[in-house]
Amino acid sequence: MLGLRFSRLVHAAIASGALVLAACPDGGKGDTDTDTATATGTATDGPTTDDPTGPPIDPTPLPPDPTNPLPPPDPPPPADVPPALLGVKLRDPSTLQLSFTEPLAPVDTVNPKRFRLSMAQAYMGNYGGQPSTTLIDLRYYNLEQVCPPDPPAPCYYEPPYNYYYCYYEPFCYYQSTGELVATDVAPLDGDPTSLLISLSAPIQPFLCSTLDAFEDNPNFQMVLHLHYAAGGLSALQDLTGLAVPSLGDAWVKYDGNFYSYQGGAFSTLNPFLPIPCDLFDVPDVPDVPPDIPESDL
C-alpha cells in the first residue's frame, strides 16, 4: 500500500476528531494497474459473454424457428411424366431385378412375354462402313458344361462303350441350355419401385465370359440387355396409370434369333442399360465359338 504523508495541521485535525479518513471499499486496495482480483471472484473466472459489454449468453439451445423450417423432401415426379427404367441387374442366375424412378402398380397381370433378353453386339464404324447393332438370342451363348460319368469297370470295347471312349476316357463339353425366356413377373417385397423377373434357365458363366470378348477392341462392344414392349392392358404402369415406355421392343415382337440394323451403336436401346454379369468367376471362352446362324432377315 502506498504510504501517505500529511502536514502537521492534518494530524492535529485527525487527533481532535474534526477529520475522519474513510476506508477503501475493497479492503484497502486501490484501482491500480496491479489489481488482479476482487472480493467476489478470482482471476481464473471465465467470461460469461463473448462481448463483455453485451448481454450474457444463454447456454440453453434455442428451439427451431417455426418461421424457418427444414427444407422439404424432394417432390415426386410430375403427374404427366411416365415412370422410367433406371437399371437391371442379376439378383441370382435365374432372376432379374428391375429398378424404376417411382412405385409401380401391381404387376400380377403383366405378361412376362413383354420382356426378352439379347446379346447385343455393336460395331462402332471405325474400320469403315456405317455403325451397326446385332441382336442375338441367348441360346447361342448360354452354354453349360457337361461332363459324362466314367464308364463302369471294366470298360468293354463294345457299345455303348467303344474303344475310343474307353481309351481316352470321358471328356467335358459345352451345350446350350435351350431357349431362355422370362417366365414370371413379381413385385420385390419392401421396394415398390422394383420388380423381379424369373428366367426359364439360369445364366451360365460361359455367357458372362463371352461379354469380355471385345474388351481389348474399342471398335466393338457386346452387352447383355433387356428389351420391353409396352401397350395394352397388361403393361407396366405407375400408380396413376402412366405406362412404362417400350425399350427396344422390335426384338420382343420379332420371332427370329438373329437381327441386325444400321445406325448408331445400340440406337434402339434408350435408355442404354447393360446388365452387369458379375455373379461368379467366368471361365475362359473355348477356342470353338458357338454356332450362330445367319441373319433371319
More reliable by pLDDT, 209 or 292:
209
Domains of the chain, residue spans: 144-176
Predicted confidence at residue 153, as pLDDT, reads 64
pLDDT higher than threshold 50 for residue 35 = no
**235, 246 Cβ separation under 8 angstroms:** no
CA distances from residue 124 to 93, 133, 227 in whole angstroms, order as listed: 30, 9, 21
Ramachandran assignment for 15, one of left (phi > 0), alpha (psi -120 to 50 degrees), beta (any other): alpha
Instruction: Show the cell assigned to 276.
Output: 452387369
- 43: buried, middle or exposed (CB in 10 Å: 19+, 13-18, 0-12)? exposed
Q: Which of 140, 118, 119 minimizes the C-alpha distance to 291?
A: 140
- Mean per-residue pLDDT, 232-258: 94
Predicted confidence at residue 1, as pLDDT, reads 46
- Confidence tier at 250 by pLDDT (50, 70, 90): very high
- Confidence tier at 218 by pLDDT (50, 70, 90): confident
14: Cα within 13 Å, side-chain hemisphere: 9
**C-alpha to C-alpha distance for 226 and 246, rounded to whole angstroms:** 11
Q: Which residues pair with 136 in a beta bridge?
A: 119, 258
- Confidence tier at 33 by pLDDT (50, 70, 90): very low
Lowest average pLDDT, out of 148-152, 211-215, 251-255, goes to 148-152
pLDDT higher than threshold 60 for residue 157 = no
**Cβ count within 10 A of residue 108:** 9
The pair phi, psi for residue 146, each rounded to 5°, is -125, 130
Q: Average pLDDT of the chain?
A: 79
Predicted confidence at residue 32, as pLDDT, reads 45
